Structure 1
């Protein structure tokens, strides 16, 4: 107990003293995984989203992100991460059983693209909600370019065990409702993750290099990189260029001051950005020659345009704005968004990573979490950028509490803080999977050559492979893994039924639409 008292906050100490540590187990975990469909010639697929997979608009588990070729696979939330990964594996299997002469790109950074025009924007049918989703993506093209939007990653969704909330609420006896307490506690988790989230990039970043073709539409960005080989640019110590400033960085978002100190502040600041005109986007125009080029000319078209490493989430009802869902019903879970695809794993993520992330998020909940200042946000962003670009650089120091600290020392301290949580999550499991995951990450902290980013560069060098060739070879290996298996009849029938139901649901939505699109958008944005 003494060791635990020294390492964790009052929250956990009280839970332990009351013998309630089992309440920390069983939080729901879900995964969203993006992958670019690639044709056999190595270029981005130009084919529509396969109809056999169902409707990208209405399917609960198989959809698309920015591009028609950027497939997104979603698992339901499970209390056991093994179930989440098993569902993701089955979904991959079903997709491959219905892909003709195409495969899913194993890497986060896109290869096989030939400028913006080679990337087809996702289509969602003729309904108003489908048109809105397409128009939003059209606006992203005009604002940031299509190439950046074809980057793929994994989102890890986590909800705190429901039975834990009344216990924490009783311990702290706040002068607010339980629902308000839950939301504010999630925001405390988010603030702590923003301080520590650079660790995800160091440990799991798998995008240290980029195909030169990525820069065809924005050649000026190439100047900041070194040449690895004739087809590849990189930073020698990079971990996750996906999470660096080559993608989502823009002048308007850099100046946004989104408030993470409370639910009310978050909703207000995000809503303000959606309602505030931005001169550069006004030059683009919203409707030109009768065609929508973007949803609006404001700083953000909708909430999703604001890029952040972690988001508070509430399940929105049909047509409901995400900020309004949060305002009405509070935070239900968090979405961690900074995970690269693991190119060495067929489904892009393994059990050790998932267990480590769960333990880290739970630690962020239980640790004290001071409110954030604007300077804190700048420091957090600078630390993330430094790790994304130079995370494996010997002696790299980060800014912590207005002083510098070696990355390795800070990382080891975070892992030490997680040890008691991993002990609790392991419970009576003799295999100690959470502790094993923690030990594995400590080894990577001690030796940067064990990181995925270092292994990728080493493999490329040894095999004399450009990044594009390396990525395609890994993709082919994963394709072979799934082609050699076949989904069993029961699961195939279930996925086929889901696909048919989603197609029918899309038709039903399209048939009942009555409002003109202009009126639909007015009603949508007028929600309050």
Structure 2
């Protein structure tokens, strides 16, 4: 069965394509009126960063993360994200949210305070985990912001695509289908930043902390841009881990993927040995 036949088969049930679950996770730095990184703790009005399921922090105390509930239509999803933003701004006093993925001005790495989650064991473990990230990759790279788009197909989709199946057979079919989707994303995902990427600029303080030899040009006071760039966050200068490129984790099956993860966990890295 080719793609057009599968699509025709699925579209016979309207719920198969209209009930897709979608969710967004958006990260943003809190900044001062002067445009610098906020040194203030997580705003009390936003609740506990450990237990608030809509507004929390990511790597740093100043790096907010907004998480929407699962929605089945795009308008509701964007409305939920807008509501979370509006509530957050009502609790920020004089601060604002940095709109770019690459960080605002950061004077020293020590200016970046690790996210704090309280004195409970789980809260202390979350902060300790970020301490490890700081030593491995540096704090500046960890405050690069992003937007994560999560989605899942409804049961009606799989029923229309595969028909009646035993429970384990259905699980295997769904896993194989999702891995096929992942492989296609790796094939065609570059089109998204190529067509829609629009973040070719960053603060000069970030370049001072990198070993980049790219030919950036300056515009204004302290802003540098790379002509013809699309998304610096996704470049070698952005949020990357070159050590992972040698792991070769496969996506042809669940077994292959899990075997690759197990091998990666047990593979020592000379770069991070000390």
For the aligned pair, the TM-score class normalised by the smaller chain equals: over 0.9
Aligned to 1:15: 10
Larger radius of gyration: 1
By how many angstroms is 1:266 displaced?
A: 1.5
CA deviations 1:307-346 (Å, max 9, x no partner) are xxxxxxxxxxxxxxxxxxxxxxxxxxxxxxxxxxxxxxxx
Instruction: Give the secondary-structure state (helix, strand or coil) at the position aligned to 2:271.
Output: helix
Larger RCO of the pair (alpha carbons < 8 Å, separation 6+)? 1
72, 77, 85: which one pairs with 2:65?
72
Aligned to 1:262: 253
Instruction: Give the secondary-structure state (helix, strand or coil) at the position aligned to 2:8.
Output: helix
Aligned to 2:230: 239
Asked if residue 32 in structure 1 is aligned to residue 25 in structure 2, the reply is yes
Aligned length: 273
CA distance in 2, matches of 1:21, 1:189: 21
Please give the TM-score of this superposition, normalised by the length of structure 2.
Answer: 0.92
CA distance in 2, matches of 1:201, 1:251: 20
What RMSD, in angstroms, separates the aligned Cα atoms of the two structures? 2.1
Alignment of 1:429-444 (within 5 A): none
Alignment of 1:26-105 (within 5 A): 26-105=19-98
CA distance in 1, matches of 2:53, 2:171: 27
119, 138, 145: which one pairs with 2:131?
138
By how many angstroms is 1:22 displaced?
A: 4.6
By how many angstroms is 1:13 displaced?
A: 3.5
By how many angstroms is 1:268 displaced?
A: 2.2
Indicate the structure with greater helix content.
1
Aligned to 2:122: 129
By how many angstroms is 1:272 displaced?
A: 2.4
By how many angstroms is 1:175 displaced?
A: 11
By how many angstroms is 1:9 displaced?
A: 3.8
Alignment of 1:447-486 (within 5 A): none
246, 266, 269: which one pairs with 1:275?
266
Please give the TM-score of this superposition, normalised by the length of structure 1.
Answer: 0.49
By how many angstroms is 1:231 displaced?
A: 2.0
197, 208, 211: which one pairs with 1:205?
197
Change (3 A) 1:15 1:98: closer
Aligned to 1:336: none
By how many angstroms is 1:211 displaced?
A: 1.2
Aligned to 2:209: 217
CA distance in 2, matches of 1:234, 1:25: 40
CA deviations 1:218-244 (Å, max 9, x no partner) are 3x21x2132233623322101101100
Aligned to 1:183: 175
Instruction: Give the secondary-structure state (helix, strand or coil) at the position aligned to 2:22.
Output: strand
Contact 1:116 1:217 in 2 (8 A): no
